[in-house]
Each structure stands twice: as structure tokens, then as C-alpha cells.
Structure 1
């Protein structure tokens, strides 16, 4: 069995999907035990407010990040000063939108940072379980101290071993939204009687159908394709692409990656079963790649097809991720 490594994933227990493996840390750091450093450059919107005044303050945020199959939107942030015996608190009104097909608890540790100080979600506050393709509004509460300032507050989602999402809530910080983005890939590859035409490509840090999050420094490349059995070829009445090495992607650094994934589970190799002259639409090949770091770098897609007579026609096509 082909197994995926290094993904934050969910498991199925008694027919209900449950979360495993969440923590906290910085996007490019290597340990889930390290708390994230607050971002310190570009600004996020909102009115200026500082808890140093000891007054209750609030601001509208209205910004989103993506993590492990969820779109997380912080609607508002409110600071409530300490009042004995309660400590000062920050509350975030958040919209959790489940992008996947199953009921799922929202995942990823929520860390509220301010300068070098970090505050976890308060004890007793749970992340919501949201039905597939639905959304839920939840208030997250953080107990803070006199070192907290709303002006440099940053919300970080996820652990150091996986790609984190970062949302500035005050007047400083750089957002890392991990919003999925489409890339222009129109490559076609012909291997003997089989033609593969890429029809859509997407780069993202998560896979909503499996509620998984890529390792730190990685991204998921999803290639949707049409498969055609060329009309001049002999009949093809069996799956002609079944092995993980029938679709491979060579990165600019020369690293070769096997594909995995189907439209249903992402867990199996791409499968094509098409007769001569026919077209199979909506095939999917998923590759876990290094996060692209060079504009215009060339990737090579290789497709093999076993004819059944010991011949293995191979075709290649190249593309860039811009």
C-alpha cells in the first residue's frame, strides 16, 4: 500500500472523522514544540487600540486564512480588561467554513501572539465540529496579561511541522493566508496510444477531501486532466495507468515525485480506463512538491503506458508554475 507521510490528517473512528496531530509553531521551523514568532512587517486593517488603556476595545477584522480543509475568517476582535477574579481576555468571533465533504472538527492549534508573548485558546473553549460544505460561527477566547497589545496581535494556525497560516489582527504583521491558487498549466503528454491533456492546475497547502495539511516547506499540486485513447490505437479495455510511477513529476532540482490521488480520496494512484477514440474527463494527479521558490522554473511531467506486449511508451511535457 502506498502511504503518504508528513501530512496532518484525519482518521475514521466508528464512522466519524476525527482530528489527529495538531500543535503550534512557525511556518519554516522544524519543531512543533516552538511557539511562533509574531510577524512584524505589513499591516492589517482596523482601528488603533491598546489594552494599556484598561478600556474594552474592539475592531473589525474581516480577513481569512485556509488550513486543513477549512476557511477560517476572523470577523471581529474584542479586548476585555481584567476584572477580579477574571483575567483580561481577547475574544475572536470566527467563521469556520468546512471546504470538505465530511462533518469535521476544525483543526489546528490557535496561537494568539503579541510581540514575544503567546496565548493559547482558553481552557474549556472548543473548536466547532462543522458538517461538510457548511459553516459555523464560534467565539474563541484567549486569556491574556499586561504584555498583550492589540496593535501587534497575530493569530497563527497550525504546528511547526506543517505549513502554518498567519493572520495579523493589529497594525503590523504579514499575512500568510494559504489561499489556494490556480496556475496556468496546459501541457499535453502522449504516451503511445494514450494522450493526457492537463485541463486545470491548482497549488494549495491543504487537501480538503482528506482534511490534511502539507509539511512545512511543501505544497500540493493538483493536476486535473482528460485522457484520450487515440483513434488509431488498438482497443484499450483495461486500466492503462495503474502504478504510482506511471505519472511522475520532475522538479527543477531534479527530484522525481510519484503521483497519488483520485477525485474521491486522494489516496490512490491516478487511474485511466478508456477505449479507443474515447475521452475520460476529470482525472486527477496530486503531487507533493517543494514550495516553488524560483519564478519560471521548469517542471517535467512524465506519463507511461504499458501496452501489454512488454513495450512501455513514455511521453513527457514541461510547464512552469507562475
Structure 2
């Protein structure tokens, strides 16, 4: 045993001497007035970095997993605690959203490309429990756990935080489909979206029959390029000069002002026959792709009426008989629900 220890000691001494000799040779070939400069030059040599493994940043890693095998395209939705907690009937908004992928035509494989962005720990834990691609967004200095009722100050701030995150995604070279969690995916949208680069951005609208393009940022498809990155940067920067306006209205102002044209950016508007919502129902269940609970004020109303949407859809799948959607009674009444108190 002492012999082993002595051999180990001799080996260590030899290694130290070899290292010292290498340093001496290095120092002798240049000025040795500052030996630390030699070590610094070694550290700064690119070749020395090749064998160093750096930790992969969480957002990049999550995007990479979600976009794998999908031409660097990722589907993104944002949830908070209110979207993963049960409301009437024991359902959550996230439950309904995921169920639509299960019940839709050609939509189940798309869950492999869905990245769920959580704004709080409760939502993140629920996402991980569902074994989805999950990312916890930085919300330092802001409480985004409870329900953010339409046009409240916290609602507006959450929309801007979302815009900043999507700008970061585009900067990293990922194409994206953003979808609100209150959008039911009844068919794969890719057959209806232009994926040949002819459009930089395709965005849903509240009503296809009204002029002026009533855009809705609850569902849109964006190609990552210099034009769209410039758009999202300008869009996000305008939050400083548009206090009290939601990001959707700011984007529409940019569109109406001709800023899209000045960027050379091409935009397509998604017809409500295929990308419909409660503002204007699709008349054709045989063609509809998504249904958005827009024109609705709070989560319980959305969950109630979206549950009926899935029921109507299941009936259509069983019969292939086109019929009218169930009335969105709860959502229509939500605007007059003055006694409603959001969950905290």
C-alpha cells in the first residue's frame, strides 16, 4: 500500500514539472513582464474553447425540442394559474385546449411541437405534469397568477410581456404559430397557411366581412426574418408611448399607418370560414380549422361556451352533417356580468 501511494506521488510531481516546463517555454518566447497575460491569451484562444461544454439556455433548449422535425416552426401558447385551475364543471382552459388537439383532425401530432409558456410556478408545474414542452417566462416585478380580465392593467401588461418573448423567439431564427389557449384546434392549420415564404405574417381577424382588417392577435403565423423581427421590435417599443392600449390595437395602428409596407412586409388575413371565433362563426364545419373564444370577457364564460364547441364538433365528426354552432350565450352575457370577480 505505501508503494502505491509513493508511485502516485511521483506521478503527480512529474505532471507538475511538465506543466511548469511548458509554462517556462511559453514565457521565454515572449515578454515575461506579465506572466498572467500568457495565461489570458491561452484562455482567449478559440481553439481552447472547443472542448468546453457550456450549459444550454432554457428557452433555446425548449424551442429546439418543440421545433424538432417541423422546419424550425414552433406552436406557442401562454398560460397562467387561472388557465390551469378548474372552473365550472371541473374543467380548466388548458384541459379544453389540449382536448381539441385530441379531438381534431390531424392535430394530435402537433402537440409534439407545442411550447407552453407559463407565467407562474403553478402553471409551469401543471404543464410539466402534462409532459409538454414547458418554459417559465420571466415575470419579475409583476404578478400574473390570477385571471387578467380583458383590458385590465395586468391584462395589457401580460400581452406586452408575451410580445417581448415572441420577439426573442423570432430573433433566434424560429418560425412560430402563436395561439391563445382559448382557441380550439379542430384541424391542422398548416394546409391553410402559406409555408412557402409568400407571407411574412398571417393573422386572424374578428370579422372577415368588415373592411379595415379587424386583426386579432389570438392566432397568427410568423416567419422569422429581418422584416418580422423589425416589426416586432417596433411593436414592442411602442408600448412606452401607448399607455392604456392593448398590444393588438397598437399592431393595428402600425398596419393602418403603412409601417408594414415600409418594411416590405407581406401580411395575409385569415378568413373566418377557416379560422373562426365567437365574433363571427364559421358557416362550414367541414372547413373550419380553429374556433377562438373572442368577443368574450372572462374565463368561466369561455370554458362554458368552448365546451359546447367541442360537443358540436364531436357531433359533426360522427355525422358529417353541417349544422349551426350552439349559441355563445355565456360569452355574450359576460359583458354585462357586473358582479363577476376574477379569481386571484
TM-score of the two chains, using structure 1 as the length reference: 0.23
Q: Which has the larger radius of gyration?
A: 2
Q: Which structure: greater strand fraction? A: 1
